[in-house]
Amino acid sequence: MLTERLWPGNSLRNFHYLIACPQTGEALAVDPLDWQLCLDAARKRGWQITQILSTHEHEDHTGGNAGLKSATGAQVMSHAGAAARIGGVDRGLSKGDVIRVGRTVELECLDTPGHTMTHVCLLSHTEQPALFCGDTLFNAGAGNCHNGGDPAVLYDTFASQLARLPDSTRVYPGHEYLARNLEFTLDREPTNPDAATYLARARENNANSAPVTTLAEERRINTFFRLQNPAVIARLRQAFPDIGEHPDPRTVFIRLRELRNRW
C-alpha cells in the first residue's frame, strides 16, 4: 500500500490522502476537497484515481467529489447513511465492508459516529495498520460534535473501537491541528512530558511536515485517550466540581470535549 498525504494549505487545514496499489497504480482519494491537487499528485506518480471516499458529509470533505469524478470517472463512496445528503454517491458503505484498491490494498470500513452520526474510518489490512479517520480522531485530539454530532457517541467510538486498535496503527486524520491539540493536552495536563516534547517539535515543523502519529503515541499525548489519568481528573474537577473524585471515563471525555469547544 502506498500512501500520500497532501496538504492544500487552505484555511481549514485539510489533509487529503491518496492510497494506491503498488502493482497496478490504481488509487483511492480520501476527502479530496482540493481535487486538482489530488489529480496532479496522482498523475505525477503515474497513478489512476478509480475511487473517492468521503469520510463524512461535511462540505470541506465532499466539495471536491464532483470535480474529481468528472475528471477521472472514479466511483464515489461514503457511509450508506450519509449518501443521500452527500449526493452523487455510487457505493454506500456499512461496518465491515472492504474497499479494494488494485490487487494489493484492502481497507476495512469502521462505522465511527460522533463527529457526525454517519462517519466512516478506514483501517488498512497491512502489517502496520493505518487508520484514515476523517474528523473522528486527530493527531493529539478528537473531533468536535457541534455540526451534527454527539460527544457521548464519540466517546463510545473512541472506547469501543479506536482504543482497541494496535499501538502501531498510524493515524491519518482529515485536518492538521497538532500544535493546537497539544496545547490543549498541556492545558489539561501540564506535567505531560511527551506532549511538551511533541509541541516543541510541532512548532518547528511546518504543517506539511507534521508527523504522522501512531496510536501508541496518541495514548501518551492525546488527552482524549487519558481519561483515567489522575492529573487530568484533578484539573478537570477544578472546572467541574460536580464530577466527583472518581468520574467515569465517559463523563471525563464529554467534559473535556466541552472545554475544548470553548478553548
Q: Specify the stretch interacting with Zn ion by CB under 5 A; choose among 2-10, 50-58, 67-75, 86-94.
A: 50-58
Q: Are 28 and 42 in contact (CB under 8 A)?
A: no
Residue carrying the nine cell digits 496522482: 42
Q: Is 79 a catalytic residue?
A: no
To Zn ion, the closest distance from the beta carbon of 61 in angstroms equals 6
Q: Which is nearer to Zn ion, 81 or 102 (CB)?
A: 81
Q: Is 90 a catalytic residue?
A: no
Q: Which is nearer to Zn ion, 58 or 79 (CB)?
A: 58
- Write the binding mask 191 to 230 for Zn ion: x where contact by CB under 5 A, - elsewhere: ----------------------------------------
Strand 48-53 versus strand 26-30 pairing type: parallel
Q: Which is nearer to Zn ion, 50 or 181 (CB)?
A: 181
Closest alpha carbon to 161 in 207, 197, 120, 112: 112
Q: Is 175 a catalytic residue?
A: yes
Q: Is 60 a catalytic residue?
A: yes
Among 31, 57, 135, 217, binds Zn ion (CB under 5 A): 135
Q: Are 177 and 141 in contact (CB under 8 A)?
A: yes
Q: Are 214 and 167 in contact (CB under 8 A)?
A: yes
CA distances from 231 to 12, 221, 238 (A): 32, 13, 11
Among 6, 20, 26, 58, binds Zn ion (CB under 5 A): 58
To Zn ion, the closest distance from the beta carbon of 161 in angstroms equals 18
The Cα 251–Cα 154 span in angstroms is: 12
Q: How many residues bind Zn ion (CB under 5 A)?
A: 2
Three-state SS at 59: helix
Q: Is 125 a catalytic residue?
A: no
Q: Which is nearer to Zn ion, 58 or 257 (CB)?
A: 58
Q: Are 107 and 129 in contact (CB under 8 A)?
A: no
> Alpha helices of the chain — where are they, by DSSP H?
35-45, 59-62, 65-72, 83-86, 151-160, 178-188, 193-204, 215-221, 230-239, 249-261
Q: Are 99 and 122 in contact (CB under 8 A)?
A: yes
Catalytic pick from 16, 79, 115, 119? 115
Q: Specify the stretch interacting with Zn ion by CB under 5 A; choose among 36-44, 104-112, 132-140, 153-161.
A: 132-140
Catalytic pick from 16, 58, 79, 119? 58
Q: Which is nearer to Zn ion, 110 or 199 (CB)?
A: 110
79 part of the interface to Zn ion, by CB under 5 A: no
Q: Is 111 a catalytic residue?
A: no
As annotated, the active-site residues are 56, 58, 60-61, 115, 135, 175
Please report, as ranges, the residues that interact with Zn ion according to CB under 5 A: 58, 135
